[in-house]
Chains A and B, each alone.
Chain A
């Protein structure tokens, strides 16, 4: 027999070679398709330019917008990290469904945990391809340097990407269980958070009862923190810690939901019939 390397033992051990193989598979796909690469860059750039010029126009009237320069642009970029992070996760998963490759993967030694980690890595790669050009455009067109946020940006990014993976896990689990008929959820689920997480306005704008809902969502803390930083030049570490605690809860729940949906898919035979 061909010599094969031993994988790390234990139910929860992660084999880097299997994660690497999955990342390689998606890297091959991305680099073989210029429309896929273009799609990653096109929409974020369009969003930034539209909102950036809108902010320039509005800020000509003094008041909040003049004081909080870059708030809109910052919100657009951070929202894209949240949305594109989830999309990068879900799209990589959907590629396996579209290519009818899921059976091959589920039959291979690839563990579900390794599959999920590879989707997380791909979400970061796809995000970098889409958002880095966007941030450079923000510097060139609007003089907004996202990287100037320093450590705060790291805190914002980590909290947003954790939430994006949670939503990605749940939307992918729903597609796994219900087939490609549920594909639309992968594209739209995150938009449910858009009004509630107060991307473009402060939480105080919401009615009281909706504010309670908003504070249950980790991205709300990030967008409030971003406004505090850009408007008042204050880094709210307390908000970031609270967001992180909520993210731990969200990720734990979403992993449990994904595992339950996968188990249900095995019971109902959905892995064998991955069509609509």
Chain B
């Protein structure tokens, strides 16, 4: 893996200010604000429909906010997205890579889109890091779930992003593969100082990777702190118990 640290600049990696997204009558995201400092790993947690994916989509510029402000790497999104998109990347189970193209072809195309200088070298390095060697020349559509996730992460790191947005990075993976993926993400963060924003339902993953968690429910932020502080506040041993408290409406007052 590339180990050159990313040069830090003063502003936060992500700055969300009174962000609202309304689809017809439903408020998918309801006046949320937070800042993610550079070099940190933050988890965006919440049940289905909590607003995590919409929030990430607005950060990426895929969805236009109804109101509020999004700044990424000191640039307003989506107005200044051209200054940002080459420096960030993402992985999500809700998008695929063209299934008829081989893994090598797909990575070559994305290397071209991200203007990677040494395409062959970069693909070789990612193939070694994510153990893609056995199926580099196999069509992407013929890979197992675990292999697809590894390829998707290789694509997400093709431009060595300063900010990595991950939506359920280990969804539908067996525990061994999921653990392996988490180890790679930890290494990437430690060696480059990149910022990671992670949306996940997997509380073990969040506890292991994140130094901060933001709990969302019905489009609003329910809590925002380090995993340890939140568990202390809710008097719970695990984030999973806190998740259940938040999801089932058992607020701080009702916790044991």
| Residues of chain A having any CB pair with chain B under 8 Å | 1-7, 11, 15, 17-18, 20-22, 24-25, 28-29, 32-33, 95, 99-111, 263, 266-269, 271-272
Cross-chain pairs A/B with CB under 8 angstroms, 23 sampled: A1-B2, A2-B118, A3-B118, A4-B114, A4-B159, A7-B115, A11-B82, A21-B112, A24-B109, A32-B139, A100-B96, A103-B62, A103-B92, A103-B95, A104-B95, A107-B85, A109-B114, A110-B113, A111-B82, A263-B64, A267-B64, A269-B57, A271-B57
CB of B98 closer than 8 Å to a CB of A: yes
Bound CA–CA A236/B54 (angstroms): 56
Bound CA–CA A207/B90 (angstroms): 57
Contact B113 A266 (CB under 8 A): no
For A32, what are the chain B residues with a Cβ–Cβ distance below 8 Å?
100-101, 139
Contact A109 B86 (CB under 8 A): yes
Residue in A6, A18, A33, A272 whose beta carbon sits within 8 Å of that of B113 in the complex: A18
Residue in A1, A7, A20, A266 whose beta carbon sits within 8 Å of that of B62 in the complex: A266
Contact A107 B90 (CB under 8 A): yes
Which one of A15, A101, A108, A110 has the greatest number of beta carbons of chain B within 10 Å? Answer: A108
Return the chain B residue nearest A263 by Cβ.
B64
A-B contact count (CB 8 A): 127
For B172, what are the chain A residues with a Cβ–Cβ distance below 8 Å?
none
A38, chain B: closest CB distance, angstroms: 15
Bound CA–CA A110/B99 (angstroms): 20
A109 and B115 in contact, given A25-B98, A95-B98 (Cβ under 8 angstroms):
yes
Bound CA–CA A11/B79 (angstroms): 11
B27, chain A: closest CB distance, angstroms: 13
Contact B160 A17 (CB under 8 A): no
Contact A109 B85 (CB under 8 A): yes
Return the chain B residue nearest A24 by Cβ.
B109
For B33, what are the chain A residues with a Cβ–Cβ distance below 8 Å?
none
For A3, what are the chain B residues with a Cβ–Cβ distance below 8 Å?
117-118
A25 and B64 in contact, given A2-B117, A101-B95 (Cβ under 8 angstroms):
no
Q: What per-residue 1/0 map shows which CB atoms of B166-192 lie under 8 Å from chain A?
A: 000000000000000000000000001
Q: What per-residue 1/0 map shows which CB atoms of B112-134 lie under 8 Å from chain A?
A: 11111110001000000000000
Residue in B63, B105, B118 whose beta carbon sits within 8 Å of that of A266 in the complex: B63
Contact A4 B117 (CB under 8 A): yes
Return the chain A residue nearest B95 by Cβ.
A103
